Amino acid sequence: MSRLVMKFGGTSVANLDRIRNVARHVKREVDAGHDVAVVVSAMAGKTNELVAWCRDASSMHDAREYDAVVASGEQITSGLLAIALQALGIQARSWQGWQIPIRTSDAHASARILEIDGSELISRFTERKEVAVIAGFQGISPQTGRITTLGRGGSDTSAVAIAAAIRADRCDIYTDVDGVYTTDPRVVSKARRLDRIAFEDMLELASQGAKVLQVRSVELGMTQNMPIFVRSSFDAPEEIDPHGTPPGTLICGEEDIMESHVVTGIAFSKDEAQISVRQIEDKPGVAASIFVPLADANINVDMIVQNVSEDGKTTDLTFTVPASDHARAKETITRAKDMIGYARLDSATDVAKISVIGSGMRSHAGVAAQAFKALSDKGINIRAITTSEIKFSLLIDTAYTELAVRTLHTLYGLDQT
């Protein structure tokens, strides 16, 4: 017998029929003798609707009241799933984040989990064999006693944190895909599902555009050494052996992977904007004069490339920001022009970032060089390059995104065999 956390996303609980399907998945694990806690998201589209209501009520709404509103979506789902489980003869109770409690910071709409007391959940497993159905995405601030939310995708983080708090054997993330793929199968038909992937590789994939898991949930899994299993909620519950290994991807420590490939996967993002600050005086502090104002404006900067002129007196700085922050970033740099002292500001939104990820790069030379040649052969120009120990990212024109991903996917032997 083991202890499991099962997390179900919005598409998995989109309506009552799907909630009943989720209940059958949970019943399968309970009947197999497992202790089970379930974490649920709001029904598909419900959070967007609640957010829109807040914005319609006031464009300058109170963040504390925003959290009170948007947290209600998960509360509804948790109650409905508890009712569906009870209808199947399963002892179940719904829990809101504040009832456990899940203690968080007071940064409303983007709170971070500080502590979870799992003792009451564990005692109910032991004494009542009761399934805990927990509203994801939310907690409570000890300072204010108010409901907080963890940001979009926060139910994944809730699930991994609860799994660590109740000392679960595994955290199963049920979603509308049957695992983590080498790249987006909608772009590359030959993409294959990975049986296992290291936390570090998954963290890079998630942060570089893969949308299977929230980045913070992977970080938490890695720090807590909590195995995460990504699997499909649309597999027939009755056809799955609860003692076997169903289709899916296990995210685990690198030491638990028998054989790692040089390249694990390829992520891409079209949500990018490129900004170039031209002809800045090349002197100490010039980078700070650009990036400190951007940080103060809460604008995340990703790729950074600096070019020095032939005479060594001026420099160009090129960097990327999320496309949604493009206008604000330009405005921020323009306001700081006198302090920076640049001659020209150029920008573009027709760019995409391609990231090649793999722990095996640590011990293999020339991996990036192969990509440069392969893309050159396809006539694809590279605007910027950044590298790290297990990843390199390339900035290219958006029009070439799919061609670049397919080319690199084949180059590194990731196509299905």
- Model pLDDT for residues 153-198, shown as the tens digit of each residue: 899 999 999 999 999 999 999 998 899 999 999 999 999 999 999 9
Decide if pLDDT at 21 tops 70: yes
Contacts of 234 (CB under 8 A, 6+ apart): 12, 21, 176
pLDDT recorded at residue 353: 95
Residue 209 has pLDDT above 80, yes or no: no
Neighbours of 369 (CB within 10 A): 9
Annotated binding-site residue? 211? yes
**How does pLDDT run across 334-357, given as a tens digit for each residue?**
999 999 999 999 999 999 999 999
Please check if 212 is assigned to a binding site.
yes
Q: What is the pLDDT of residues 77-110, one digit of tens each?
A: 999 999 999 999 999 999 999 999 999 999 999 8
Please report, rounded to a whole number, the percentage of residues in the chain having pLDDT higher than 90.
78
Task: Supply the pTM of this predicted model.
Answer: 0.86
Calpha distance 316→318 (Å, rounded): 7
The residue behind tokens 């497993």 is 125
Is 170 one of the annotated binding-site residues? no
At 100 the pLDDT is: 96
Q: Would the annotation count 7 as a binding residue?
A: yes
Q: Is 199 annotated as belonging to a binding site?
A: no
Percent of the chain with pLDDT over 70: 98
Is 270 flagged in the annotation as binding?
no
Q: Quick one: three-class SS letters along 218-282?
A: HHHHHHHCCCEEEEECCCCHHHCCCCCCCCCEEEECHHHCCCCCCCCEEEEEEEEEEEEEEEEEC
Topology (CATH level 3) of domain 3-255: Carbamate kinase (3.40.1160)
Which tokens belong to 403? 């061609």
- Residues near 57 by Cβ (< 8 Å), separated by ≥ 6? none
pLDDT digits (tens, 9 = 90+) for 24-40: 999 999 999 999 999 99
Region 225-235: what's the mean pLDDT? 94
User: How far, in Å, CA of 90 to CA of 31, rounded?
Assistant: 9
Q: What was the pLDDT predicted at 344?
A: 92
Going along 98-233, which residue ranges are E strands?
102-104, 113-116, 131-135, 138-140, 147-149, 170-175, 196-198, 228-232
Q: How confident is the model at residue 281 (pLDDT cuts 50, 70, 90)?
A: confident
Please report the pLDDT score of residue 1 as a whole number.
65
Residue-level pLDDT at 243: 80
Mean pLDDT, to the nearest integer, of 227-234? 94
Task: Note the pLDDT tens digit of each residue in 119-143.
Answer: 999 999 999 999 999 999 999 999 9
Confidence of residue 259 (pLDDT cuts 50, 70, 90): low
Give the Cα separation of 85 and 91 in Å (integer).
7
Which tens digits make up the pLDDT trace of 393-417? Answer: 999 999 999 999 999 999 999 997 6
Partners of 198 in beta bridges = 252
Does position 310 have pLDDT exceeding 80, yes or no? no
Q: Which CATH class is domain 266-411?
A: alpha beta
Burial class (CB in 10 A: 0-12, 13-18, 19+), 364: exposed
Q: What is the pLDDT, as a whole number, of residue 417? A: 61
| Rounded-to-10 torsion of CA 320, 324, 328, 329 | 0
* Residue 36, both tokens: 């089970």
Helix (H) or strand (E) holding 321: strand 314-322
Q: Is 401 annotated as a binding residue?
A: no
Task: Please indicate if the annotation marks 239 as binding a ligand.
Answer: no
Q: pLDDT tens-digit profile of 362-388?
A: 878 889 999 999 999 999 999 999 988
9 is in an annotated binding site: yes
Which residue from 147, 140, 139, 145 is spatially nearest to 63, judged by alpha carbons? 147
231-254 pLDDT, tens digit each: 999 888 888 888 887 889 999 998
Q: Is 94 exposed, middle or buried (0-12, 13-18, 19+ CB in 10 A)?
A: buried
Answer yes or no: is 47 a known binding residue.
Answer: yes
Q: How is the chain split into domains, by residue range?
A: 3-255, 266-411
Given this model, what pLDDT does residue 250 score?
95
- Please give the C-alpha separations between residue 250 and each of 159, 202, 223, in angstroms, as whole numbers: 15, 10, 16
Checking DSSP bridges between strand 344-357 and strand 391-397, what pairing results, if any?
antiparallel
Q: 56 labelled as ligand-binding? A: no
In this prediction, residue 284 carries a pLDDT of 87
Q: CA-to-CA distance for 219 and 289, rounded, in angstroms?
A: 31
| Overall size of the chain counted in residues | 417
Residue 246, pLDDT score: 80
